[in-house]
Amino acid sequence: MQRFDTIVIGAGVIGAAAAWRLAGRGRTLLLEQHAFLHEAGSSHGGSRIFRHAYEDREHVRLAVAADALWGELEAATGERLLHRCGGLDLGTAGHGELDGIEAALRAEGRPVERLDGAAVRARFPAFGVGDDVEALYQPDAAIVPATRAVATLLRAAAAEGAVLRDREPVRAIDAAADGVEVTTPAGRYGAERLVVAAGPWLAGVLPELALPLRVEQQQVLYLRVGADARAFAPGRMPLFIDRHGGIYGFPLFERPDAVKVSAHEGAPTIRLEDRSDRIDPERAAATVAAARRLLPGLDGELVGGQTCLYTKTPDERFVLDRHPEHPRVVLAGGGSGHAFKFGPVLGEIAAELATHDGPAERATDHPIGGFAVARLGTP
């Protein structure tokens, strides 16, 4: 039986980041059930939103910490992973839905501007918002190329000495007071500690916890821009989250002729065995209509789409904690559709939980009090 200091299960963004941070602290093994960079989970694709803009200071702090770690990864690997383009949060004027975001950003010293509808139209011509809309502009927002970012994390982990093995699903986990053993079709591995970052498969890997996780199948769409593509270029068009119209999207990035848009809410809950690549035409039509209302310069032709999975907790906050019965086992997941941007810091927290003794909240300087597994009411 091969032995390691730490085993990580799952090579999505959190598991890859955990392996990167753990590799410098001891012999680390990363196991992935699919091929590396597969498209069956939540960490694939050409773009993800990175932003500091959240309704609470804890998430703002985590985003700022993730920002620094993305920068550290860029410096270590020579890859550019944060493509700054600014971000807009759009809301209904006078309804106060942006107030908490603005307050949290200002409390943490982050730059933010409040714009009325006329100012949005003047500064960012792609948006055809009315005077009933207001917005927050946050210049630190960026696009992260998702698959390339995960590949970069995996390369960085390997460069630090981590052993990476894909197509090797975990069949059993045996945890004891002095360590853990993991069984795969290739054999058994022993370690002092284990990090489970299995994404949508987290509940299945640790069935004894009966984690109340719900998996949604999301879809993103690529819509052709109109004759004036300049309005949709990064620098002239920021990322956006339209709380007024229920969609989010990107400027031109992955494709030269189409922007990426999606609806965060309304996706169906599925069983993992039922996951498909099919784009739901009814949901797609509603998203296209909302995008054309917000961005009237779009041609609007649907030129592509992709599916991915959200793994949601009941409160849509992460799970970052030690196993309640086996403190050598760390859980990291429950991304709830907004974890990718935090990937490096979530991996760092998982590494700290795995390698420090004592209460979980003292293992890290990052705010994790709201991510405890006990809040989920597990056995």
Q: What angle do CA 27, 80, 47 make, to 5 degrees?
A: 95
- pLDDT score of 50: 98
Tokens of 137: 């502009």
CA distances, 203 to each of 40, 198, 199, 342 (Å) = 16, 8, 9, 21
CA–CA gap between residue 61 and residue 249 (Å, rounded): 24
CA 254 to chain CA centroid, Å, is 18
User: 166-194 as b/e, with b when 16 or more CB fall inside 10 Å?
Assistant: bebbbeebebeeebbbbebeeeebbbbbb
- pLDDT score of 379: 63
Closest CA to 257 of 307, 308, 304: 304
pLDDT in tens, the chain (379 residues): 899 999 999 999 999 999 999 999 999 999 999 999 999 999 999 999 999 999 999 999 999 999 999 999 999 999 999 999 999 999 999 999 999 999 999 999 999 999 999 999 999 999 999 999 999 999 999 999 999 999 999 999 999 999 999 999 999 999 998 999 999 999 999 999 999 999 999 999 999 999 999 999 999 999 999 989 999 999 999 999 998 788 999 999 999 999 999 998 889 999 999 999 999 999 999 999 999 999 999 998 999 999 999 999 999 999 999 999 999 999 999 999 999 999 999 999 999 999 998 787 788 999 999 999 999 986 6
Cβ atoms of residues 121 and 137 within 8 Å = no
Q: What angle do CA 80, 83, 85 make, to 5 degrees?
A: 165
CA distances, 18 to each of 9, 174, 310 (Å) = 10, 21, 20
CA atoms within 13 A on the CB side of 72: 15
CA distances, 264 to each of 88, 287, 338 (Å) = 16, 10, 10
- pLDDT score of 68: 98
Cβ atoms of residues 237 and 251 within 8 Å = yes
Indicate the class that CATH gives domain 2-44+147-210+315-376. alpha beta
- pLDDT score of 25: 95
Cβ atoms of residues 7 and 31 within 8 Å = yes
Q: Give one DSSP letter per residue of 143-199, joined into a string.
A: EE-HHHHHHHHHHHHHHTT-EEE-S----EEEEETTEEEEEETTEEEEEEEEEE--G
CA–CA gap between residue 183 and residue 189 (Å, rounded): 7
CA–CA gap between residue 10 and residue 84 (Å, rounded): 28
- pLDDT score of 378: 67
Tokens of 64: 């700022």
Closest CA to 42 of 240, 267, 227, 233: 267
Residues of the chain with CATH 3.30.9.10: 87-139+214-312
Residues of the chain with CATH 3.50.50.60: 2-44+147-210+315-376
Coil, strand or helix at 36: coil
Can you say whether residue 118 is alpha, beta or left, with left for phi > 0 and alpha for psi between -120 and 50 degrees? Answer: alpha
Indicate the class that CATH gives domain 87-139+214-312. alpha beta
The sign one gets for the Cα dihedral 300, 301, 303, 306 is positive
